[in-house]
Amino acid sequence: MIRTGHNAAGTIQSLIDDPRAIALAAPTRAQSSLANIGDATVSAATVVDSSDPALLTTAVIEFTSPTTYSINGAGSFTYTDGDPIIVNGSSTTISGTPAVGDQFTIEANYGASGDNSNALLLNDVQSNGVLDGGAISIGESYGQLVASVGGTAYQIQTGLEAQNVVYNNAEDAVLSKSAVNLDEEAANLIRYQQAYQAAAQVVSVTKILFDSLINATSR
């Protein structure tokens, strides 16, 4: 008999006991400098490529003109209001009108014990399509499993009841042909008994006849 996982419960143990060690925060954050003059704002950073080796390094976006910016002092990129900017595997969106010299920083999210961005994403797993090639969620899949098992069980029960009826009919047929009916036997018993008594009377009548004959022929 194959018993998969029957020892699994005994091996469960707790590895962390500090709630802050649970990875519920986003890996990176985006901040705007408090010395900025323009009114541009930056959105929270989301990770788009977690395998990027430079994910946790700091990147400074500085505006060299209202429509161009450099990253860590190098390059000249065109700024479009509201377009995502992807640096070191993190994506953020700057909107509004930046001034020359305004800076925005994307850095590792150390110390952010109050951040719950990763928790919100984890929460979505409950309703995201993760099974069947991304089409249905875990809850829906479980519901479908229950419905399918229930449906099959119902079919089997109906089949069982039908088979029972067939069996009972067959048994009735057999019994009606071969089994004993006690009343029938009792009646037969009486009949044979009477027949026997009648036959016994024949013997006694024969005896009387013979006795008469012997008596008639003796001197």
Partner 1 sequence: MRISTRGAFLNGLQAMQRLQTALDYTQRQISSGRRILNPSDDPIGSARSIELREAISRLQQFDRNAGIVSNRLSQEETALSSVNNILQRVRELALQANNATQSNESRGLIAIEVREQLSNLVQLANQQDGNGSYLFAGNLEGTQPVSRMGSSFTYNGDQGQRFIQIGEGRDVADSDPGSRVFFQIRNGNGTFTALADPGNAGTGIVGAGSLVDPTAYDQDQYTVRFIDAANYEVLDSLGATVVTAAYQSGDTIAFRGIEFSLTGSPAAGDQFIVAPSRYQDIFSTIDSLAAAIERPVSDDISRAESNNAINASLLDLDQALGNILDVRTQVGARLAAVENQVDSNGAFELTLQTTLAGIQDLDYAEAISRLSAESTTLEAAQQSFIRTSQLSLFNYF
In the bound state with partner 1, the residue whose beta carbon lies nearer, of 80 and 168, is 168
Q: What residues does 41 pair with on adjacent strands? A: 95
Tell whether residue 57 is a contact of partner 1 (CB under 8 A): no
Tell whether residue 182 is a contact of partner 1 (CB under 8 A): yes
Instruction: Report the largest interatomic distance among the alpha carbons of the chain, rounded to a whole angstrom.
Output: 170
Residue ranges in 115-181 assigned as alpha helix (H): 117-124, 138-178
Tell whether residue 129 is a contact of partner 1 (CB under 8 A): no
What is the C-alpha separation between 170 and 174, in angstroms, rounded? 6
In the bound state with partner 1, the residue whose beta carbon lies nearer, of 87 and 102, is 102
Sequence-ordered list of residues with C-beta below 8 angstroms from that of 36, at least 6 positions apart, any chain: 98, 99, 102, 103
**In the chain, how many H helices and how many E strands?**
3, 9
Tell whether residue 113 is a contact of partner 1 (CB under 8 A): yes
Instruction: Judge contact between 69 and 117, C-beta under 8 A.
Output: no
Segment interacting with partner 1 (CB under 8 A) among 7-15, 31-39, 46-54, 199-207? 31-39
The nearest distance, CB 16 to partner 1, in angstroms, is 17
Chain positions contacting partner 1, by CB under 8 A = 25, 29, 31-32, 34-37, 44, 99, 109, 111-117, 120, 123, 126, 139-140, 142-144, 146-154, 157, 168, 171-172, 175-183, 186-187, 190
